[in-house]
Structure 1
Amino acid sequence: MKKKYVFISNMAAPYQVKLCDSLQEFLDTEFWFYEYIEKGRPEWWKIPLGNKCKIMRLSVRVPKLGYISFGVIYELFKFKPDVILFGGFMPWHWLLMRIAKLLKVKVAFMSEPLRYKSTEIASNENSSIKMKIIRKMCSGADLYIGMGEVAAKQFIEEIGFPVEKVEIGKYPQDIEEYYNHPLRYKKQGNTFRILFANRLVDRYQPLFALEVFEKLLAKYPNIELYMNNDGPLKEACINYISNSKLNNVHFLDKIDSWNNMHLIYKKSDILILPANYSNGNGTIIEARASGMGVVISTKINHIDKHSIHGENCFICSLNIDEFVNAVSEYIENPDKLIEHGKLSRKLVEDRKNSYTAKAYYDAFRKHKLLN
C-alpha cells in the first residue's frame, strides 16, 4: 500500500495541480490549497482540480501572518497522511505541525529564499528577529526543502536548521507540451517575435525590456514584442509605448486557458528577462523546452545547470546595450536559434513533472519520512 502524502500551500497553481497527478505513481497524494488563485493572477490560471486537489474550507488570509484554515484540521483527521509538506513558514503551519506530530505524522517545510527587500536575501544581519522566530517555530520538522541552493544555504547558515535535514528542491514545471513545438527556422529579414513572459512587476523590469525593444526596433523595423498582460506596471508600460510611439508591441490579453498558454511560446522566437532578482524563473524553463532563444540577466538564481552563455542563451549584465546586442545576435545569425534550442531542450529534460515527482519521492525516502 502506498504511503499517504499531502502538500499544503497558498494557491492551486496549475503546475502544482499537474505535479499532484505525477506523484500518484509513487504516493497516495493530495494537494490542499487555501485559495484557488491569489489576487493578481489571471482567471485562466484556474484549472480543474480533479479528485486529488482541493480548496480548503474556512480559509482566510491574515496580513503579516499568512493563511489560516480551520477546514484543514478536519481534512487531516479524515485523510490520515503519513507525510505533510507545508509550503512556507507561517504561524498556522507551526500549529498544524504540532497537531501532526501528535498524530505521528512526518513533517517537512518548503520555501523559497526569504527576502529582506525585494532583491535582498534575509540574513541574521538584516532580519535577525525573523530568523530566530522561524528557527524556534519550525525546529521540530523532519525535513526542510529549500527551493534551490540559495534557499538551502539560507536555511543552514542564517536560520540554523541542521544541515542533515536540509534538501534542495526544484519547482514543478508543466512543460511536456512545449517539446512538441517546432524549432525556430528563421532567415534574416523574417519577423522575429520577442517574448516578455513575466508579470509586469519591478523585479522583472518590463520597462527595461521596452527600452531594449525600442533600440532594436530602430535596427529591425519588422520585429514584434509580446508582453505579459498582468501586473502593477502595466499602465507605466502603456505610457512608455505611447510616449515613445512604439509599434508592434502586443499585450497577451487573449489567453483563454492554462493549457493553451504554451501556444504563446510556440509563436515566439526569443525570450527576454532582464530581472534584477529571480529565484530561477519558470518562464526560462518553458522557453528552453519550447526551443526558443533566451536572453536573460545575471541576477537570476539557479540557472547554471541549463544556461551556458553563448551556447544555448545569452546572459547579460543589466545594461541596455548588452541586451540589444544579444537579441541582435539571434536576428543576425538565425541558425543560433536552432543550435541553442536543441541544446536547451536536452538540458531541461529533467524538469518534466515525471522527474520532479520522483525527486520528491526520493528526498522523502532519503530522509526517512516514509519509514
Structure 2
Amino acid sequence: MKKVASTLLCIAMIIFCGLSLYPLIADNASQTDQFEANTIKHNYEQGLFTLSPYKQTHFGLRMFRQTHDPKYQILVQEDIANISIKLNQFSSDMVSEETMSKYATQKLADYHQSNDERSTRRVNTIQDNPAYVYLGLDLLRYMARIDDYGLQHSNNAKFRQRLLHYPFAELFTNKIMVQAWAAQLANQAYWLKQLQLGDYVALFTQTLQHTYPDNEDHLLSAQQYQNKLYGMTHLIIADSNYYQKQVKEADHPWVFHYFRTHIDRIISDTKQDIIAEVGISFLLAGLQDDPVVYKTRQAIKQAINPQAKLVPSVTGSTDFSHGEHRNVLAIMLLDWHAPTLGPNTTTTPQLFESLPFGLQRKQN
C-alpha cells in the first residue's frame, strides 16, 4: 500500500509540472486579492512535493473543493491511499488498551518536545486518557474523511462499535479538555454527527461559551484567547463539512456576533491562521459583503512577504512547510469560491474506479 501512495506521488509531480493554472472564477474578490492569492498558490504548487504527504493532501483537497481543477485529483487519490493505510493499521491493532496506550505514548513524545502552554495543556489531558488520542483524534477523523468520499472501511461496523462505547459526552462537557483541544473537539462533534454516532454540537458549543465567557477575555493568556477563537471558527468550518456547503449565520449567532464585535482585536492580537479562518467563516455563511471579510483580507494581504511569496508566521518565519496551513487559508480567503460538494463517489466517480485494499463504497 505504501508503494501505491509513492506511485501516486510520482504521478502527481509530473502532472503539476505539466499543467498550467486552471481558470478560476472567484466570488467577490478584487483583482488585487486574486493576484495575491495566485502568487501564493503558484509558490506552493511549485514546492508542493517537498511537503509531507499530510500537508500535500491538506492543500490539494482544499484547492480541489474550491476550484474543481482536475490537476488536484491526484492529491485526493493520494489522500485516499494514505487513509486506507491508517485504517488498515487500526483494524489490525485495535484489540487492547495496551495498543491504545502505546499509540498515545508515541503521540505524547511530540508534545513533550515543546514546553509551550498549548503542548503542556495537551499532555496533561491525554497522558491518562490514551483512548482519546487513538479514537478521538485519529480513528474518528479518518472515518469521517473516508465517509466524505462516499467510502467506508471493510471493518466499519467494528470501528463504529468502538466509538459508540467511548464516552464522548464527557469530553464535550469538560472545560479542561476544551482549554487544550477546542478546535479538535468542534471537529469531533460534527464528525460524530456526520457518522450518526451522536449529536453533541449544542453541548460542545455551550461548554465552549462557559469555558470562555466573553466578559472574561481579558483574563486569558494569548494562547488561550487563540484557543477560544479556534474553537469558534471550527464550529463554522466543521458545519460546512470543510468547505463543501454553506452554513447559516442563524445557527451560530454567538460566533458571528463575537467576530463582528471583536474583529479589530482579533486582527491585532492573533495570528494569520485565525484571521483568515474568521474571514472564511463569513464567506461560508454567504456574507461576502460583511466588513469583517474586507478587514481580514486587508490584514492578510498586508502580511504577505513579497520576496518569499507567502504569509510568514507571527515571528516572521518564512518556513515553507510550517506555513502551509496559514497559506492555504490565505489563498481561500483572497480568492474565494462558493462551497460545492465533493469529491466523492457521486460527484467524481472516475476517482473511485479502483480502491485501495480495505476500502469499499459506502453501504446505505
TM-score, normalising length: structure 1: 0.23
Richer in helix (by share) = 2
| Higher RCO by CA contacts (8 Å cutoff, separation 6 or greater) | 2
Structure ranking higher in strand proportion: 1
Normalising by the residue count of structure 2, what TM-score does the alignment of the two structures yield? 0.23
